[in-house]
Amino acid sequence: MFIQSGEWAIISKHRVLITYLKSLKARIFLAMLLAGWIPMLIVAYGVLDSYRERAITVRSTDVQNQCRILSNQLVSYNYLKDPSSELIGGELAQLSNLYDGRIIVIDQNFKVIRDTYELIEGKLVVSEEVIRCFQGETTNQLSNKRYIEMTVPIQEADTQKIIGVLLVSVSTDSIWDNLDVLTGNALIFVLICGVLVLTSSILLSYFLGRPFHRMVLSLREIAEGHSTEDLKIKAYTETEEISEEFNKIVNQMRVLDESRQEFVSNVSHELKTPLTSIKVLADSLLVQEDAPVELYKEFMSDIAEEIERENKIITDLLSLVKMDKKAANLNIEPVDINDLLELILKRLRPIASRKNIEMVLESFRPVTAEVDAGRLSLAFTNLMENAVKYNRENGWVHVSLDADHKFFYVKVIDSGMGIPEESLNYIFERFYRVDKSHSNEIDGTGLGLAITKSAIQVHKGAIKVSSHVGEGTTFSVRIPLNYIA
């Protein structure tokens, strides 16, 4: 299925919109907009609504009071019997003019005595409101939104008898007119405030989001390799913290990269040394026309030794790479540690016996632990091999095994040459060998302890060393009995 260029444009617009909506800027903008607009609209609507209610109540009360005064006058002028009073007639007309309304005076027989609209005089009005008013109940209601309709009883002052009813309807047009003006003003107010809120939302969201934008740009520069400077965005505590944490990670990566480069150059150097020797030996044989057989034999055995050394370095490097692989490749199973150590000792005793070195295993209890037997065996072999290699004639190697409920502990103690204090910190580093002069005499690649440490760390264990030059060295290892993933 082919996507047309127009569709691409829609898809990319859609993406831009989603990216914007997900941004902090957009969230700040929306939050500000809502926080500004919602209360403003509520206040504007609330004010208008309460004005309307209040105005209608005031108007009703006013009219009701006026009608009560009027009904008293109607009684005192006996208007229901004799509606000829011009004074009352005038007042009725004045009142209905004032409120733009209509007043109908009804007597006891539901007959209209006076209608200010002069439409139904002499007719009967028997409506529910009028009947209820004769029963003593005044009514007051808003009809069709445009009129307030009410009934007011005409009562005799002494007997309290209801002798008639005033049926009044008052226009609310003036209230609605006022309300229209007010709504217009409120709308202008809302619009001005709305624009102000909108502008400040845009500005604030831009300025508040800017440090994060700067951060993204800086990170992009660092990621693309255009900048090696530390990230420093101090606008907010958060950006400062992110910058600090990011710089820490970058520094760790730089250190890692440096150590990787150093490792590669060390490996190349170590691999080249035996090759150079082999080349020198072979060349010197080649230039001699009649080299004696003895010389050939001697040089060839030197060459074989160098090949052996090269082989050992490569084997160690491969072990190291294997150790460095993640714990996922571990082959964890319950292993009898006593057996494992015993087996290593058995393999090393013939080598030890060449220098008449005694090797002893002291086990305080049987120990079974969840470990990778292969890797751990390599680690302990290296420790014990070193204990023999860097030992004196007639020396001893003491291996002990103990455990508590959480860990097992292995110590490899020897009576060898010891390690100078200043070297103790470096012996676990790759290719580090204490004394170059004795390194020439004693075979080694400088990788053994690095392999050992890596194997122990992958088991979440720990290794420590203490040593006295001329007296001997102790390596102490601690490993959890149960594998911690």
Residues interacting with ligand ADP, by CB under 6 A? 382, 386-387, 390, 414, 416-419, 427, 432-434, 439, 444-450, 473
Name the minimum Å distance from CB 360 to ligand ADP: 16
Residue 74 identity: L
The bridge status of strand 162-171 relative to strand 139-143 is unpaired
Q: Report the residue number, 163 or 449, with the smaller CB distance to ligand ADP.
A: 449
CA atoms within 13 A on the CB side of 444: 28
Give the DSSP letter of residue 136. T
Q: Report the residue number, 103 or 320, with the smaller CB distance to ligand ADP.
A: 320
Name the minimum Å distance from CB 382 to ligand ADP: 6
Name the minimum Å distance from CB 236 to ligand ADP: 48
How many whole angstroms from its chain centre is CA 325? 31
Name the minimum Å distance from CB 404 to ligand ADP: 26
β-pair partners for 396: 358
Name the minimum Å distance from CB 247 to ligand ADP: 33
Token digits of residue 161? 């008898």
Residue 454 identity: S
Q: Coil, helix or strand for 57? A: helix
Q: Report the residue number, 175 or 434, with the smaller CB distance to ligand ADP.
A: 434
Rounded-to-integer distance, Cα 113 and Cα 22, Å: 75
DSSP character string of 367-413: -EEEEEHHHHHHHHHHHHHHHHHT--TT-EEEEEEEE-SSEEEEEEE
- Helices 293-324 and 448-458 sit at what angle, rounded to 10 degrees? 20
Q: Report the residue number, 90 or 420, with the smaller CB distance to ligand ADP.
A: 420
Of the candidates 325, 406, 411, the residue with the CA atom closest to the CA atom of residue 369:
406
Name the minimum Å distance from CB 392 to ligand ADP: 11
**Cβ proximity of 239 and 233 under 8 Å:** yes
Q: Report the residue number, 446 or 461, with the smaller CB distance to ligand ADP.
A: 446
Of the candidates 148, 188, 185, the residue with the CA atom closest to the CA atom of residue 168:
148
Name the minimum Å distance from CB 312 to ligand ADP: 8
Q: Report the residue number, 407 or 428, with the smaller CB distance to ligand ADP.
A: 428
The bridge status of strand 396-403 relative to strand 358-363 is parallel
Rounded-to-integer distance, Cα 120 and Cα 23, Å: 72
Name the minimum Å distance from CB 262 to ligand ADP: 16
Name the minimum Å distance from CB 250 to ligand ADP: 31
Q: Report the residue number, 95 or 313, with the smaller CB distance to ligand ADP.
A: 313
Of the candidates 26, 47, 17, the residue with the CA atom closest to the CA atom of residue 183:
47
Name the minimum Å distance from CB 357 to ligand ADP: 12
Helix boundaries (H) for 77-172: 86-98, 128-134
Name the minimum Å distance from CB 449 to ligand ADP: 3
Name the minimum Å distance from CB 302 to ligand ADP: 20
Q: Report the residue number, 218 or 445, with the smaller CB distance to ligand ADP.
A: 445
Any idea which residue has 């500000």 for tokens?
Answer: 32
Q: Report the residue number, 378 or 434, with the smaller CB distance to ligand ADP.
A: 434
**Cβ proximity of 337 and 367 under 8 Å:** yes
Token digits of residue 18? 């989603």
Token digits of residue 91? 């007042």
Q: Coil, helix or strand for 124? A: strand
Burial class (CB in 10 A: 0-12, 13-18, 19+), 430: buried
Rounded-to-integer distance, Cα 15 and Cα 116, Å: 72
Q: Report the residue number, 418 or 461, with the smaller CB distance to ligand ADP.
A: 418
Q: Report the residue number, 366 or 420, with the smaller CB distance to ligand ADP.
A: 420
Helix boundaries (H) for 167-236: 173-223
Q: Report the residue number, 162 or 351, with the smaller CB distance to ligand ADP.
A: 351
Q: Coil, helix or strand for 102? A: strand
